């Protein structure tokens, strides 16, 4: 997500109503697809651990991010502060979306 959100066309989509509509559509499709064990879809995506407590996540993942994960990345490796700022920005964007997904 960090690299995608460096590109204007992705930022424009991410900030658009179309992004909101797509996210809700995917969630509703998942409700239909996952007949059982789909209660998690009722929760707003901003509640996911990666977004809800990114400061705690930063502390817990910092070593793995700097060591093991860096070996998997080609090209410029983002500074962890930039990465976690991106996660906070994503969370803030998600918080603007009304989550009206009903799990049956």
| pLDDT score, position 54 | 75
Q: Which domain holds residue 40?
A: 4-95
Mean pLDDT, each 10-residue run in order, the chain (104 residues): 93 98 95 86 90 81 80 80 89 95 86
Tell me, yes or no, whether 102 lies in a domain. Answer: no
Tell me, yes or no, whether 16 lies in a domain. Answer: yes
- Distance from CA of residue 82 to its chain's centroid? 15
Tell me, yes or no, whether 104 lies in a domain. Answer: no
Calculate the alpha carbon distances from 87 to 1, 25, 77, 101, 104 in Å. Answer: 8, 22, 16, 23, 30
| pLDDT score, position 73 | 78
pTM of the entire predicted model: 0.81
The number of distinct structural domains making up the chain is: 1
| pLDDT score, position 92 | 95
Tell me, yes or no, whether 83 lies in a domain. Answer: yes
Structure tokens at 4: 């995608």
Tell me, yes or no, whether 101 lies in a domain. Answer: no
Tell me, yes or no, whether 23 lies in a domain. Answer: yes
Rounded to 10°, the helix 54-66/80-95 angle is 150
């Amino acid at each position: 997500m960090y690299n995608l959100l460096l590109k204007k066309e992705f930022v424009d989509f991410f900030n658009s109503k179309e992004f909101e509509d797509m996210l809700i559509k995917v969630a509703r499709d998942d409700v239909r697809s996952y007949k059982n064990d789909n209660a998690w879809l009722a929760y707003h995506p901003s509640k996911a651990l990666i977004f809800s407590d990114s400061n705690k996540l930063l502390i817990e993942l910092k070593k793995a991010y700097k060591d093991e994960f860096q070996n998997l990345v080609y090209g410029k490796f983002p500074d962890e502060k930039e990465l976690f700022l991106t996660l906070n920005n994503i969370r803030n964007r998600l918080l603007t979306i009304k989550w009206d997904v009903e799990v049956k």
